[in-house]
């Protein structure tokens, strides 16, 4: 058995506006940077064994990883494109309310079934496959790493691990612990959620 941690990046202005980011490269805002600093502090307080910090190639995840790594005095890993957020197609750049108005049927379907992607979005199965591949490789190469990823890919991953179709929203800097065997990811447990960061 191996262990790995995965966390969502800190807040961006798109998060604040409840706007779909997807593959758009949106920067952290000041609150997001404070959340990343707080995440590092919580990892220290909890005594979690973290050996290095990696991230997706999108700047909001990469900057979160840099802040956390600096706070813990850890090295950073090369950013991994497989951890990038899922493309949300026609939803990208729109607020949740705008999606309800412009694409009511697609939006309603997606809310109950995340595999029912909007037009132009990356397929659910492909997202799960690439994120699982990144996690399995990180476990082999650098056990006990912390990977900074995105809400959409994390929900897909947790859903695939626990065979749950709808996973609750994953808040900024929420932290999960993954237990991994040589063959698969056997559990994904929430360690810290939004409430810890005020």
* Domain of residue 147, residue span: 2-88+122-197
**Do the domain assignments include residue 110?**
no
**Do the domain assignments include residue 103?**
no
pLDDT of residue 117: 84
Domain count, the chain: 1
pLDDT of residue 168: 78
Structure tokens at 196: 């810890």
**Do the domain assignments include residue 98?**
no
Stated pTM of the model = 0.93
- Whether residue 22 contacts residue 86, with contact meaning beta carbons closer than 8 Å, is answered with yes
pLDDT of residue 195: 35
- Quote the CA–CA distance of 126 and 102 in Å, as a whole number: 26
Question: What is the mean pLDDT for each group of 10 consecutive residues in the chain (198 residues)?
Answer: 94 96 97 98 96 98 98 97 96 95 93 85 94 96 96 94 80 96 94 54
CATH number, domain with residue 155: 3.40.50.1240
Q: How far is CA 87 from the centre of its chain?
A: 13
pLDDT of residue 165: 64
**Do the domain assignments include residue 76?**
yes
pLDDT of residue 52: 97
**Do the domain assignments include residue 93?**
no
**Do the domain assignments include residue 112?**
no
Would you name the residues annotated as active-site residues? 9, 85
**Do the domain assignments include residue 104?**
no
**Do the domain assignments include residue 128?**
yes
- Quote the CA–CA distance of 20 and 178 in Å, as a whole number: 26
């Amino acid at each position: 058995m191996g262990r790995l941690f995965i966390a969502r990046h800190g807040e961006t202005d798109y998060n604040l506006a409840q706007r779909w980011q997807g593959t758009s490269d949106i920067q952290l805002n000041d609150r997001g940077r404070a959340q990343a600093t707080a995440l590092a502090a919580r990892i220290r307080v909890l005594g979690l064994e973290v050996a290095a910090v990696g991230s997706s190639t999108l700047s909001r995840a990469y900057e979160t990883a840099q802040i956390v790594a600096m706070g813990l005095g850890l090295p950073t890993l090369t950013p991994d494109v497989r951890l990038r957020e899922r493309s949300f197609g026609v939803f990208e750049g729109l607020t949740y309310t705008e999606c309800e108005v412009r694409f009511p049927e697609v939006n309603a379907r997606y809310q109950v079934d995340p595999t029912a992607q909007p037009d132009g979005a990356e397929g659910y199965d492909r997202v799960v496959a690439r994120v699982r591949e990144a996690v399995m490789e990180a476990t082999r190469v650098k056990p006990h790493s912390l990977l900074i990823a995105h809400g959409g890919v994390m929900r897909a991953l947790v859903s695939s691990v626990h065979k749950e179709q709808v996973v609750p929203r994953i808040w900024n800097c929420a932290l999960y612990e993954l237990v991994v065997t040589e063959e698969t990811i056997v559990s994904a447990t929430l360690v810290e959620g939004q409430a810890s960061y005020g």
